[in-house]
Amino acid sequence: SGCSEDRSCEDWEFTFPHIIVALKGSCVDIPCTFTHPEDAKDFNFFWYSRNDQAKIFNNKTQSDVVDEYKGRTFLTGNTGNDCSIKIINVEKIERCYPGINEDINSYTLNRRDVSVYMTDRPPEPLISGTENLEDKKTVIISCAVNHTCPSHPPTLTWNITGHPIMENHEDLQFLGGWRMESRMTYTASYTDDKTVLQCAATFRNNKTSVKIITLRIKCK
C-alpha cells in the first residue's frame, strides 16, 4: 500500500550505486541497503525494470518475474536490511530499482535507479610498486583489477615465477564492484633490468586483459 498519507514514506530509504559498468557475459552484483519504518513487517522485496516496471526479482517466488530474468537474479544480502542482488549472464544495459511495491520503491520515492552498462572490453590491470627498484632490494609489486562478479573473480597471473604471491579480494561497496589484487614479494636483480613484467587478468567469460611494463633496476 501507499505511504503518502501518513508521511511514513520518509522512513523508507534505499542506498545503492547510480552506475555500474559490467563485462558483457559476466555477472554483476548490485550492492543495496534500505531503512524502513519500525512498524513495517512481513513485506516482500522486489527489483523492478526501469523500462516497463516489470519485476526482475521477487524475494519469495519467481512466478511473476519477467521471463528474461527468471533464473538470472538472486538475492546476495544476508541481513534484514540488505537488498543486494546478483544478475548473471549480463548481455544488455540494465536499468532497475528496488522496492516493496509499486508505491514504495526508490524510483517512485526519489527518482533513483541504477544503470548497469555493458562493455566488451575487460578492464586493464594496474601494476604498482615498480617505481624504485634496486639490485637485491625486496619490494611488494601489486597487480590489481576491478570487476563486478565476486562469485567468479578474475584470475591474475604473472609471467615470472619463483616469487611468493598473496591475493586480496576487496569489496568496494557503494562505489560499485570489487577489486582483485595479486601481491608479489619480489627481490630485484640487476640481471632483470629492462626485462618485461606482465600481469594478465582472465575473467569469467574467458576474456583476458594484460598489463605489460619494463623493469628498471638500479645498481646499488
Place of cell 574467458: 206
Q: Taking a C-beta distance cutoff of 8 angstroms, is the pair 58, 65 a contact?
A: yes
- For 131-165, write each residue's pLDDT tens digit: 989 999 999 999 999 999 998 899 999 999 999 99
In CATH, what class is 8-119? Answer: mainly beta
- For 90-114, write each residue's pLDDT tens digit: 888 889 999 988 888 999 888 899 9
CA distance 211 to 202: 12
Place of cell 586493464: 124
**Do 8-119 and 126-218 come out as alike in CATH topology?**
yes
- For 183-197, write each residue's pLDDT tens digit: 999 999 999 999 999
Q: What phi, psi does 108 have (nearest 5°)?
A: -65, -40
Domain ranges of the chain: 8-119, 126-218
Q: Which CATH superfamily is domain 126-218 in?
A: Immunoglobulins (2.60.40.10)
